[in-house]
Structure 1
Amino acid sequence: MTVRTPPSAPTGLGGAAPTPDPPTTRSWRRFVPWQGSATRTDMALMGAILGVVAMGLVLRPLKPFLLASHPVTLEFLTGDLTAIGAAAAFARIGEAPLWLVVLAGTAGMVKLDWLTWWTGRQWGAGIVRMLTTSTRAQRFAGRATQLHPNVLRAAVVLAVLPGIPSAVIYAMAGWARMRLATFFLLDIAGALLMTGLVAGLGYGSGQRAVEVVLLVDRFASVVSLTLIAAAVVIPWARRWLRRAFVRRTEQSQVRTPQ
């Protein structure tokens, strides 16, 4: 009688059976945009993203000080619409040329958008999952490669409008393999239109807007300390409330008769 041997398990290199990823590895993969092992490009992009986030956190408490003393510098560093309007108001009273306000505001809005475009080109759906938790936005981004090129180009131009998730749009452009030169031109066009609009409003307000900015500067220390305190206290309060809720739930379960 012939005895059949059971089929052997798939083997990897060297004849050894492949080792599955440990549960801990599979769990943290949900929080990274790449598939498989990270490459040098993946790590460089992730480091750049974290650097941009860190820069934003550092600049946040400094905004009230820079808004009144160096509004043009602030708009270049942050691309913030409030800084653009304030700089234009100072231009109205002769503190800075208006063309420099528009140029600095436009550059400030677009200077790091190429990075988001690159993440979309590198990671596709992975970066979209990191940027938004909206399933509708993820489904729409998933159809990026199927959209008509003119629709995607218009979306890049209009991404500067308030309420539009611009980072998702820029990542979609990279995912759809839009050329970087095309993306730059469209991004600059949208930023220039928005900067021109906000600068025009600030320039028209003139002295009244400057007085408001100087009032903010007078209380800049209070505003900055409040922002720093909020950044520290709010996460701590959330953790404390969560732990208190867990303890209360456990105590109620112990007291409940079985």
Structure 2
Amino acid sequence: MDDTEIRPARDRGAANWRRYVPWQGRATRVDKALLGAILGVVAIGLVLRPLKPFLLASHPVVLAFVTGDLTAIGAAAAFARIGEGPLWLVVLAGAVGMMKFDWLTWWAGRQWGAGIIRMFTTSERAQRFALRARDLNPWIVRGAVVVAMLPGVPTAVVYAMAGWARMRLSLFLLLDLVSTVLMTGLIAGLGYRLGQDAVDVVLLVDRYASVVSLTLLGLTAAVPLVKRWWRKRSGGEGRS
């Protein structure tokens, strides 16, 4: 096989690979470091997922700080209602836990623009909105950051859009803090109001933590296998 045959195959391989990375051209050290940091955060989340049921009853404030998990924030507030720690610490731990890695997403938007947005979402509507980030009124982008924590809002896309629109990091962190404090306060308020009832549910989860964790691990391993089996079956039926 001569070079003229090898080169097109190599070019096709490079083109296919570029579809899965957010940068254009050759990756720089910054590109690699930033992508590595984002993947590291994702890996930490996957490792902590099966441990959440064990920490929910014993260390809910720590869990809220480490993961920013809404369930942990609500559980910690419920424990605060029965005298297990101050409520302000729950709100602080939850807010920090929710926003501590958001600057990475902002930086990714500033570094890669549309490339990282295409990786974050397949929604054409979200992509079109994000692609207009530089032309939007700055107040619209700021408002989007404040409401980014609401259910249904593509949070990562909004943060990347803010970076792409060249929002200052200091302003982004301030708006992000407002957003996370509002959401944390809402969840903590609900947990504090429920009090002992919520604590009883948490303790029930703690009692069956091993079963819950093993179930989560089993589902994490089984879902990709089921999807692969279904694709093979669908492909076989299509050929037949």
TM-score range, shorter-chain basis?
A: over 0.9
Which runs of 5 or more structure 2 residues have no equivalent in the other structure?
1-6
Do residues 135 (structure 1) and 124 (structure 2) align? Answer: yes
Q: Secondary structure at the match of 1:96?
A: coil
Matched with 2:43 is 54
Matched with 1:185 is 174
Deviates most, 238-247 or 90-99: 238-247
Matched with 1:146 is 135
Matched with 1:220 is 209
The correspondence for 1:229, drawn from 200, 211, 218, is: 218
- Report which of the two structures shows the higher radius of gyration computed on alpha carbons: 1
- The aligned amino acid for 1:242 is R
CA distance in 1 between partners of 2:152 and 2:233 (Å): 35
- Superposed counterparts of 1:90-109, under 5 Å: 90-109=79-98
- CA shift digits 1:188-237 (9 cap, x unpaired): 01101111111111111111110010011111111110000001111112
For these two proteins, the number of residue pairs brought into alignment is 233
- CA shift digits 1:40-66 (9 cap, x unpaired): 000001101110110111011111111
Matched with 2:58 is 69
Q: Secondary structure at the match of 2:13?
A: helix
What's the RMSD between the two structures over aligned residues? 1.3
CA distance in 2 between partners of 1:22 and 1:165 (Å): 34
Structure with greater helix share of residues = 2
Matched with 2:4 is none
- CA shift digits 1:61-83 (9 cap, x unpaired): 11111111110011111111111
- CA shift digits 1:146-204 (9 cap, x unpaired): 11111111110110111111100000000000000000000001101111111111111
Matched with 2:74 is 85
The correspondence for 2:199, drawn from 196, 210, 230, is: 210
The correspondence for 1:195, drawn from 169, 172, 184, is: 184
The correspondence for 1:115, drawn from 83, 104, 111, is: 104
Give the alignment's TM-score, normalised by structure 2.
Answer: 0.94
The correspondence for 2:19, drawn from 25, 30, 34, is: 30
Aligned-pair CA distance for 1:247: 3.5
Matched with 1:14 is none
Do residues 155 (structure 1) and 144 (structure 2) align? Answer: yes
Matched with 2:3 is none
CA distance in 2 between partners of 1:191 and 1:22 (Å): 45
Structure 1 stretches (4+) deviating beyond 4 angstroms?
none
State the identity as a percent.
69
CA distance in 1 between partners of 2:235 and 2:188 (Å): 50
CA distance in 2 between partners of 1:160 and 1:133 (Å): 19
Aligned-pair CA distance for 1:248: 4.2
- The aligned amino acid for 1:191 is T
